[in-house]
Amino acid sequence: MRSNCANSAFALLPGQRHRRAQPVLRSTLMSCSRYLTAAALLLLIILSGCARPPLQKLDAASYLLDRAHTLQAVELAPTEYQSALTALNEAKASLEARDYRNAEASLDFSLLHTRRAIALTEQLKSNQRAKEAEAKRIAEEAARQSEERKQQALLEEKRAAEAASKAAREASPKPTHAPKLQPIYKVGSGENLWTISAQPTVYDDGFLWPLLYQANRDQIKDPRQIYPGQVLNIRRDLTEQEMAEAREKARESNIFPPPPSP
């Protein structure tokens, strides 16, 4: 179109027609300008009619915002997350209105703030994990030191007990041999069943005199009447119950009152 306009304008220039060419040129240029303006408008209409909705970017923004939600960005980065969510909703509204340019701008804004929300959330979680790891390390170290102190205290206690036991063994007198127990006893002058039962070679306990009486009933009619030279049998196969019953019986009787305590 520009070539045709130029040819029409300059065809009038040669020779004596130069004066007439000027108004024709102006008219031709104005006509060409109108044609160019109309062509530009037509091009804009064509381009606008061929624009496509940014559906792939919408899918990407929705997916990324879902991932931010899963990472708990709602709680950890609420400002960035809310900005991204609002922009995404605005983009959806623009798409419904076929305003694809504003829709794409809103999607870009949403993607930007979603990425910021994810980055901030991951950073906060990383910091939290680091704090928890440090707290765990400190607790484990404290537990280890406490166990070491406990073991050291037990070791020192054991050593002290061993030292005390050794000192006690060294300080204690040598054990004396227990008197040899005899199966019989020969009554001496002035003795009775209480004094005989209290002797270390017999029962070492005066309250057990009823056992001597029971074992020698064939020769003792009255426990208060025994005679020098009598040979008494001494039972050695006594049970705890028999000894307890004998003591009880001795306490209940007044035959041999126990001697006063020294």
CB hemisphere CA count around 22 (13 angstroms): 3
Q: Could you give phi then psi for residue 122, rounded to 5 degrees?
A: -65, -35
pLDDT in tens, the chain (262 residues): 444 444 444 444 455 444 555 554 555 544 444 444 334 433 433 444 447 999 999 999 999 999 999 999 999 999 999 999 999 999 999 999 999 999 999 999 999 999 999 999 999 999 999 999 999 999 999 999 999 999 999 999 999 998 988 888 888 766 566 567 778 999 999 899 999 999 999 999 999 999 999 999 999 999 999 999 999 999 988 899 999 999 999 999 888 877 665 5
Q: Which residue type is seen at 67?
A: R
Using only C-alpha atoms, the chain has a radius of gyration, in whole angstroms, of 61
Report yes or no: 51 and 104 within 8 Å, Cβ to Cβ: no
Domain range annotation of the chain:
2-50, 55-135, 184-252
CA distances from 12 to 2, 15, 27, 29, 31 (A): 17, 9, 13, 14, 17
Whole-model pTM: value is 0.41
Buried b (16+ CB within 10 A) or exposed e, 239-261: eeeebeebbebbeeeebbeeeee
* Residues whose CB falls within 8 Å of the CB of residue 5, separated by 6 or more in sequence, listed in order: 28, 29, 31, 32, 35
Q: Which fold has domain 184-252?
A: Membrane-bound Lytic Murein Transglycosylase D; Chain A (3.10.350)
3-class SS of residue 185 = strand
Closest by CA to 226, choosing from 193, 201, 194, is 193
Q: Could you give phi then psi for residue 65, rounded to 5 degrees?
A: -70, -35
